[in-house]
Structure 1
Amino acid sequence: MTEKPRRGEPQAGLPNRGPGVNLDRALKSIVTVQASIPEDAFTAQTLGEQRSGSGVVIRESGLVLTIGYLIMEAESVWLADAEGRVTPGHALAVDGETGFGLVQALGPLDCPALELGRSSETKLGDQVTVAAGAGTKPVRAMVVGKQEFAGYWEYFLDEAIFTSPAHPFWGGAGAIDRNGRLIGIGSLHVEQLSARTGPRDINMIVPIDLLPPVLDDLLAYGRVNKPARPWLGIFSAENGDEIIVASVAENGPAAAAGIRRGDVLASVGGSEIEGLGDFYHKVWTRGPAGVEIPIEIVRDGRAIGLRIRSADRSSFMKRPRLQ
């Protein structure tokens, strides 16, 4: 699947409701998230200084679950409910492995907390409601895929949820099952290629089952309390059987080691790379952040061996600060 940001009009209509489910109440748990990022932040150029998306209230205390890239390095965050009431928020945590982000409202939110469902129980063909803030209409969608996902920014999920049709305002949108429970958070708008139906636009949803194992750590420490994965600062893409470097993070480990745009990633530690997900796994199993990663690249038809001193990605980011 290829990431492909797009915009368009959402399709109206809602899935059939489960017994006794008040979908209108569930939709009141959806809020708009607005974040401002300093111009000198590490992600300002790639993700922008002004970011807008959605989040879902998951605790009566005003805890909001969103997608992490919306609030990464944010110096200010504002939350707006369905009636347009605005409340300041604090970016509590961003988890690079799952992709989740947490915001704590700094004032009362007149929004109910949405119950968490079980994404593992979601099946192909199930109907879901994908709901975003800012007054946009919810989209009636169907689960069209549950499979691994490898993102170009050194991100991998063993099993992501894919829904169609796509919601055009996907970032942080809540995926709600027919019983009115949250089963995931919208992350991307991607294109699915099918021999039978051709290309179609779908949403990639981060499964909610990934949250409970890390939630306590995120609330206590702002991150998962374990050694960070090694990060190289390589943005790469699959091109046939090859993994091509699309760009490298400025001042990141790969740039310091001499990796260039257009290089072909061939092997890690002498083991041939068999796909983007395989590349990440080979890097991550070498040890925690800081470990040296031996990589062979192909440049202009010539094999070159390099050693990259990996890093903790979060060490390049600005820390959240209380408003």
Structure 2
Amino acid sequence: MTEAAYDVVAIGNAIVDILAQADDAFIVQEGMTKGSMQLVFSPEEADALYAKMGPGREVSGGSAANTVAGIATLGGKCGFIGQVADDQLGQVFAHDIRASGIRYDTPVRSGAPTTARCLIFVTPDGQRTMNTFLGASQFLPEAALDRDLIANAAILYLEGYLWDPEEPRRAMRAGIDIARTAGRRVAFTLSDVFCISRHGDDFRALMADGLIDILFANENELLALCRTDDFDAAVASAAAQVPTLVVTRSEKGAIAVQDGARVEVAAEPIDRVVDTTGAGDLFAAGFLHGQAQGRDVATSLRMGAICAAEIISHYGARPEVDLKALVAQKLG
């Protein structure tokens, strides 16, 4: 197996996030489930909800894209594969991700629908409630995959959010085949309980077939995946099927089980939680960068916790400080 030219290449939704503050009453009024993600199925519905938002802030997002942006800030070499439309938001996304030093060559898609957008309402406690119009991102075809890029990455990273539409699901399955044929590792994030409710059988099958090397979940997602209310039982069940399991637990920190050995890390202290958007994405960034560097699992977990703490200290899911310097300082 040749040495990898890239640390991580991700396949994910190419989304522009629009963030605004909202109170709990607004979340209830609009029938949202606080702290979760729901799909918006039409551009008209997205426009109507957008019209109700307060002053917003636009920033390129998407779960896997946030992760590789974090890895790039840490000094890693990354690529991203995701579909945008030939419109203004598509130009915003492409500019932002390339400006982060990430290779992004996916051809734009002409015609409707528009580039994906996620309307994110942040409540005073920092919780984010997301409403996602997938737009062009759900039409990522297998033909758009850069096979050489995937084969030359140490880790292929996939997001569960993109598993919902049929066309990118086929593309991700093809990506898994390319990575495994090249002898590379495949990492997968469950993304949301919503995704598990729709595709849990697929995710469990990927694990049972030995196609996932690193699985990311938060506590609720893990319990849903393993169909139990017993956290330790869920950890044991999932860890038996993947070489590396990583579970984030908000203020309780995170755990990882790698080759049967369980390691825990505390959450990094922070003065105030401002916005939890992207916390899991940046945790994955720190952990994956550590693994790509050959760090042990405990150090990789700590790197994830440091990156997650930085992201929840401000609005938006992209780092606002030099993560490489921050991690070096914290690790000593």
Structure (1/2) with the larger strand percentage: 1
TM-score bracket for the superposition, by shorter chain length: under 0.3
TM-score, structure 2 normalization: 0.26
Instruction: Report the structure, 1 or 2, having the larger helix content.
Output: 2
> Under a length normalisation based on structure 1, what TM-score does the superposition of the two structures give?
0.26
